[in-house]
Structure 1
Amino acid sequence: MAQLMDKAKNFVSEKLSDVAKPEAHVSDVDFKRVSKDHIEYLAKVSVNNPYSASIPICEIKYSFKSASREVASGRIPDPGSLKGKGTTMLDVPVKVPYNVLMSLAKDIGADWDIDYTLDIGLVIDLPAIGNFTIPLSHTGEVKLPSISNMFSHQ
């Protein structure tokens, strides 16, 4: 009986691996604005939906890491849907508290930038499969805002 169950699991796994799934990538991360207690960066995520029907997005989870530690995390519940047979651009605001940025001063150094890794989990509801998470990871560096940025983006 156990062998039959294993064969059934393998069969289902193989069939699901052949099913087309939405694909996503982070296209940009850039400075957005400064508030009284944090700096906000904006990640642009491009998601291609191969299905003709729109797909609901259950939530977007993110984790922003620098110097091998998490400096910001959050979730965006129910951010909308992916349009059918096309590409949807999603905005993921990442809010980094000032006190964390000051503790990263060693990494910032003379070039005034932060090396980061942004991990995003895009949780969608696929028909017949259920909730499915598209994992994304993006590394890069972002500049800290200058004094003029701080006053022009408030």
Structure 2
Amino acid sequence: MAQLMNKAKGFVAEKVAHVQKPEAELADLSVGHVGRDGATLAGQLDVRNPYSHAVPVCEISYSLKSAGREVASGTMPDPGSLAASATTRLHVPVKVPYDLLLSLAKDAGRDWDIDYEMRVGLTVDLPILGNFTLPLTKSGELKLPTLSGIF
């Protein structure tokens, strides 16, 4: 009986390993809104759904690092679902308080951009598999707007 159970576990594990999973890419990070309480950066996440039905997104967790320290982190619970057999763009608003922006001024003062690394965990609810998290990382430079560009 134990031998039969081991064969069944092996069969299921092999089939699950070959199941298609959604693919995601961090497309862009830009300055979205600047207000009295801080700045909101706009992250763009493109997710391709290989299934012929919509897949619910459980949550998106994110962490933004610059100059070797964490600038912002958080989670977005229930951001919607992925369209069937299509690529869906999800928007990830990253709120950064002014005190952290001022601490990054040294980096921005040299070349008027901020070097960043953004880590995102996209958790989707896949049929049969359950919750599945896609880890994503992107590094780049965030160009800051100039005063003439704002006004």
Q: What TM-score do you get using the length of structure 2 for normalisation?
A: 0.89
How many Å separate the matches in 2 of 1:3 and 1:107?
61
Alignment of 1:86-97 (within 5 A): 86-97=86-97
In structure 1, the residue matched to 2:44 is: 44
In structure 2, the residue matched to 1:75 is: 75
Distance 1:4 1:113, change over 3 A: farther
In structure 2, the residue matched to 1:115 is: 115
5+ residue gaps in structure 2? none
SS at structure 1 position matched to 2:102: helix
5+ residue gaps in structure 1? none
CA-based RMSD of the aligned residues comes to 2.1
Distance 1:106 1:3, change over 3 A: farther
Instruction: Give, as a single letter, the amino acid of the residue that structure 2 aligns with 1:36.
Output: R
Aligned residues: 151
How many Å separate the matches in 1 of 2:111 and 2:82?
38
How many Å separate the matches in 1 of 2:72 and 2:64?
5
% identical equivalent positions: 57
How many Å separate the matches in 2 of 1:103 and 1:6?
56
Alignment of 1:53-64 (within 5 A): 53-64=53-64
Q: CA deviation at 1:12?
A: 3.7
Query: Does structure 1 residue 102 correspond to structure 2 residue 102?
Result: yes
Q: CA deviation at 1:10?
A: 5.0
How many Å separate the matches in 2 of 1:139 and 1:90?
18
Cα deviation 1:32-85 (Å, max 9, x = unaligned): 110112111111111000000100001111100011111101111111100111
How many Å separate the matches in 2 of 1:38 and 1:6?
56
Greater mean deviation of Cα atoms: 70-79 or 12-21: 12-21
In structure 2, the residue matched to 1:125 is: 125
Q: CA deviation at 1:137?
A: 0.6
SS at structure 2 position matched to 1:14: helix
Distance 1:23 1:107, change over 3 A: same
SS at structure 2 position matched to 1:53: coil
How many Å separate the matches in 1 of 2:70 and 2:2?
43
Distance 1:141 1:2, change over 3 A: farther
Q: CA deviation at 1:14?
A: 3.0
Instruction: Give, as a single letter, the amino acid of the residue that structure 1 aligns with 2:58.
Output: C
Q: What TM-score do you get using the length of structure 1 for normalisation?
A: 0.87
How many Å separate the matches in 1 of 2:106 and 2:7?
54
